[in-house]
Amino acid sequence: MGRRSLPKIDSQVDLAQHLMSLEQVPKPFSATEFFGRGAPLEIEVGSGKGLFLLSASEQFPDRNFLGNEVSAKYSRYIAYRLAKHDRTNARVIHGDGLALFAGYLGDQSADAVHVYFPDPWWKARHRKRRVMQPSFVQDIHRVLKPSGVLHFWTDVEEYFQATCDLINATVPLSGPHAVPEPVALSDMDFRTHFERRMRRNDQPVFRSQFVKSPPRPSKTQSVPP
């Protein structure tokens, strides 16, 4: 299912505070400097049209939301939507999400990672192109803080099961934990545009959460009297 054309962007809207290319991101990445404040950080890989960033940044103003999108025109559209709604706690980085995680994000720097409806690469010979690969799963685990959450959703049951098996075999994240399907009360009350399309066409959505275990307390040895 291909991507639909995007609405036109008002060229008078300044995108500078909401859009950055991966090459412009400083190393090491500091969310506090990037957003100008310290707050819990949530990262979305493959932000599409930006519905999650737009909705979540409004619902949780006390958190920072970092989106990533490989398409230049979609990145600009996301930034435009965030700028129009004055979302100072959400920004988007245009570039390769795998490179962002591998080369820029520090250990235990994010409270949540969101991966919604990634390209399933249907043909068996193309599945090595899927974003959910062992190296990326390892980077997600490294970047998550203790008790941090990975959200993974897809409309492809085979991809869902394969990814759950991959995560369980690769990193110590507990899950998959079930995620209920809430009733949508408005046109914007979906996690992503793709979820909205699937549910309106009575297509299933497979949802999961994985949680990074907190560190175990160290055992203290008793000192004999």
Using alpha carbons, list the distances in angstroms from residue 198 to 6, 46, 138, 149, 153: 19, 17, 29, 24, 12
| CA count, 13 A, side-chain hemisphere, 25 | 28
Closest CA to 86 of 116, 63, 110, 54: 54
Closest CA to 132 of 174, 93, 161: 161
Residue 77 near residue 15 (C-beta atoms within 8 A): no
Active site residues: 119
Task: Read off the tokens for 71.
Answer: 């398409």
Closest CA to 5 of 69, 74, 72: 74
Q: Determine how β-strand 110-116 pairs with β-strand 144-154.
A: parallel
